[in-house]
């Protein structure tokens, strides 16, 4: 995949899909800025990339804080001179799964702040830099929950529908500017996020697998493959699209 020498930020790259994506970019000879709210986790991803001979640095940022995202983009540009790709992956789920009437204000606010407003901050500030350069590529990590209803999970579902909407709207705005913006919509994928859900509701394991036609969860590396492909020079005519990777669940 053609991402050699690209300067790539991956948010939430200390774990799961973000870590797998950072490693996949590095494997294809991109330079990766591994960003996460948790510095230790980001450092681990960078060490793993370096052990494989790849290029990566840590820049810590909480995507829900505008000043952190400003710092992330400006430090990237001062260290590497440009920003070719940003993968907006950082995301969280609610503490409690509950119906809308019982949904806590805390679960509403925290999830929207990271998953929706965080993606807006990253897109806004990355696009300012990409417009200066005259090129760029954004891949947002949405979810199957951004395409269809999701039970007892209102803020997560709302935030991921928003990510799909932001992807399409911004793609239209920048289509003539040599900037492409796409999203991937993973179904249930093995990661800390899924483990957390299953630790609270172990009964959901069989239930979830029963609704996946392939009868297994996705692997973070399988999602990473699609992200790097969308960010690469191999997909120059694709913008504003969502690619669903869900083992057939949406069928």
Ligand X SMILES: NC(=O)c1ccc[n+]([C@@H]2O[C@H](COP(=O)([O-])OP(=O)(O)OC[C@H]3O[C@@H](n4cnc5c(N)ncnc54)[C@H](O)[C@@H]3O)[C@@H](O)[C@H]2O)c1
Of the candidates 4, 68, 61, 51, the residue with the CA atom closest to the CA atom of residue 32: 4
Please give the size of the binding site for ligand X, defined by CB under 6 A. Answer: 29
Q: How far is the CB of 105 from ligand X (least distance, A)?
A: 18
Which of 32, 46, 58, 63 binds ligand X (CB under 6 A)? It is 63
CA 188 to chain centre: 14
Q: How far is the CB of 132 from ligand X (least distance, A)?
A: 24
Integer Cα distance of 242 and 102 in angstroms: 31
**Region of 76-84, 87-95, 175-183, 226-234 interacting with ligand X (CB under 6 A):** 87-95
Identify the active-site residue in 121, 156, 174, 188.
156
Residue 189 in contact with ligand X, rule: CB under 6 A:
yes
Integer Cα distance of 134 and 210 in angstroms: 47
Which of 4, 5, 38, 211 binds ligand X (CB under 6 A)? It is 38
Q: Is 110 exposed, middle or buried (0-12, 13-18, 19+ CB in 10 A)?
A: middle
Residue 17 in contact with ligand X, rule: CB under 6 A:
yes
| Rg (the chain; Cα; Å) | 17
Q: How far is the CB of 12 from ligand X (least distance, A)?
A: 3
Which of 186, 230, 239, 247 binds ligand X (CB under 6 A)? It is 186
Residue 156 annotated as catalytic: yes
Integer Cα distance of 97 and 81 in angstroms: 43
Of the candidates 64, 54, 50, 80, the residue with the CA atom closest to the CA atom of residue 11: 64
Q: Which residues are catalytic?
A: 156
Site residues (vs ligand X, CB under 6 A): 11-12, 14-18, 36-38, 41, 62-64, 89-92, 114, 118, 141, 143, 186, 188-189, 191-194
């Amino acid at each position: 995949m053609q991402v050699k020498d690209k300067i790539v930020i991956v948010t939430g790259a200390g774990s799961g899909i973000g870590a797998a994506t950072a490693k996949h970019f590095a494997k294809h000879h991109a330079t990766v800025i591994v960003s996460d709210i948790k510095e230790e986790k980001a450092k681990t991803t960078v060490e793993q990339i370096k052990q494989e001979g790849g290029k990566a640095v840590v820049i810590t940022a909480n995507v829900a804080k505008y000043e952190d995202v400003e710092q992330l983009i400006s430090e990237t540009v001062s260290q590497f001179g440009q920003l070719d790709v940003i993968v907006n992956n950082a995301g969280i789920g609610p503490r409690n799964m509950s119906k809308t009437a019982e949904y806590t204000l805390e679960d509403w606010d925290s999830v929207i702040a990271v998953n929706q407003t965080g993606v807006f901050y990253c897109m806004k500030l990355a696009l300012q830099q990409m417009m200066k350069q005259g090129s760029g590529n954004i891949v947002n990590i949405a979810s199957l929950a951004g395409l269809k209803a999701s039970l007892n999970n209102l803020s997560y579902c709302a935030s991921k529908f928003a990510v799909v909407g932001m992807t399409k709207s911004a793609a239209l705005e920048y289509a003539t500017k040599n900037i492409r913006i796409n999203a991937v919509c993973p179904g249930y994928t093995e990661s800390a996020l899924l483990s957390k859900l299953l630790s609270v509701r172990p009964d959901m394991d069989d239930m979830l697998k029963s609704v996946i036609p392939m009868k297994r969860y996705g692997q973070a590396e399988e999602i990473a493959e699609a992200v790097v492909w969308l960010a690469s020079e191999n997909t120059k005519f694709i913008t504003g699209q969502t690619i669903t990777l869900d083992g057939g669940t949406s069928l």
